[in-house]
């Protein structure tokens, strides 16, 4: 039952279904759900919503506790501060972290915690390094994710494309999304691995508009430390990453404050 619920976040599973599946009385299923609810709460796994009545059941809404989120952000800070991550041009090497299943699982849980109310229909990101984050967030929200590309591929069919100004370099760039990948009227959560000035995110915002859809949130794993040239205002970041004298400087982003202060 635990596995079934965990694998189907944000989905109402009826008591009747569980009763049939496990050959038990609804009353014992109901008791088990109460235990599960308490355990989830105690462990900070998320919320188990139970809906009473004949049409009732349970819905698992993944989340993370403030303690666990803080621990994770600290762990990432430590990992990113390792000195061999500095790259020429002031970039920071993060690909290894974002290729680890346990890191991605936590990033997904943390970002999904912001959108527990279920106001997201699709997660959007841009190829390539945002993809694992989008996938993880999408799995916790149980919604599809779509990948915006810089090159348009023959295997995507017809696409909608926009030009955008890359915030940091002031160059005009292009991004495209397969026409059939997003329904109009979707509420879209934009995620990415790294946001410097936010030009790419702004590009995705205008792409979302082209699909008659709305951006309901912007969440990034890391943002650049130079905030004065940011073109995006309302977003959350887990980390702030900067480079000073060829040394990587990492600090927590605005996530912890934004999410847990209002709770």
CA gap 8, 236 in Å, rounded: 26
Question: Within a 10 A sphere around the Cβ of 37, how many other Cβ atoms?
Answer: 16
Among 30, 113, 181, 240, binds its own copies (CB under 8 A): 181
Among 64, 69, 120, 178, binds its own copies (CB under 8 A): 178
Rounded to the nearest angstrom, the gap between the alpha carbon of residue 200 and the centroid of all alpha carbons in its chain is 17
Judged by CB under 8 A, does residue 7 bind its own copies? yes
Judged by CB under 8 A, does residue 95 bind its own copies? yes
Among residues 42 and 244, whose Cβ is nearest to its own copies? 42
Judged by CB under 8 A, does residue 142 bind its own copies? yes
Among 48, 111, 143, 189, binds its own copies (CB under 8 A): 143
Q: Kindly give, in sequence order, each residue whose CB lies less than 8 Å from that of residue 186, ignoring residues fewer than 6 positions away.
A: 121, 122, 208, 211, 213, 214
Among 44, 91, 165, 258, binds its own copies (CB under 8 A): 91
- Which token pair is 240? 């702030």
Judged by CB under 8 A, does residue 156 bind its own copies? yes
In the complex, least distance from residue 195 CB atom to its own copies, rounded to whole angstroms: 13
Among residues 153 and 257, whose Cβ is nearest to its own copies? 153
| Residue that is written with structure tokens 């106001």 in the block | 119
| Residue that is written with structure tokens 């527990």 in the block | 116
Among residues 74 and 157, whose Cβ is nearest to its own copies? 157
Instruction: Please identify, among the stretches 67-75, 89-97, 161-169, 242-250, the one whose residues bind its own copies according to the rule CB under 8 A.
Output: 89-97
Among residues 169 and 227, whose Cβ is nearest to its own copies? 169
Judged by CB under 8 A, does residue 45 bind its own copies? yes
- Which token pair is 90? 């002031």
- Residue ranges in contact with its own copies by CB under 8 A: 2-3, 6-8, 43, 45, 84, 87-89, 91-96, 99-102, 104-105, 127-129, 131-132, 135-136, 138-139, 142-147, 149, 154-157, 178, 180-181, 194
């Amino acid at each position: 039952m635990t596995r079934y619920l965990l694998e189907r976040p944000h989905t109402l599973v009826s008591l009747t279904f569980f009763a049939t599946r496990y050959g038990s009385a609804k009353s014992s299923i109901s008791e088990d759900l109460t235990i599960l609810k308490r355990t989830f709460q105690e462990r900070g796994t998320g919320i188990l919503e139970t809906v009473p009545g004949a049409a009732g059941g349970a819905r698992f809404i993944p989340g993370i506790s403030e303690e666990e989120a803080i621990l994770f952000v600290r762990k990432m800070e430590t990992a990113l501060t390792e000195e061999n991550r500095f790259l020429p041009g002031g970039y920071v090497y993060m690909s290894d972290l974002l290729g680890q299943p346990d890191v991605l699982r936590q990033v997904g849980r943390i970002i999904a915690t912001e959108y527990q109310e279920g106001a997201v229909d699709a997660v959007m990101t841009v190829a390539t390094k945002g993809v694992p984050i989008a996938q993880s967030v999408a799995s916790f929200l149980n919604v599809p994710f779509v990948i915006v590309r810089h090159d348009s591929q023959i295997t995507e069919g017809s696409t909608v494309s926009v030009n955008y100004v890359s915030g940091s370099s002031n160059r005009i760039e292009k991004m495209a999304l397969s026409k059939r990948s997003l329904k109009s009227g979707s509420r879209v959560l934009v995620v990415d691995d790294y946001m410097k000035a936010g030009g790419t995110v702004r590009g995705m915002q205008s792409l979302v508009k082209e699909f008659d859809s709305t951006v309901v949130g912007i969440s990034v794993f890391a943002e650049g430390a130079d905030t004065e040239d940011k073109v995006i205002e309302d977003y959350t970041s887990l980390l702030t990453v900067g480079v000073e004298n060829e040394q990587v400087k990492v600090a927590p982003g605005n996530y912890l404050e934004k999410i847990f202060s209002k709770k």
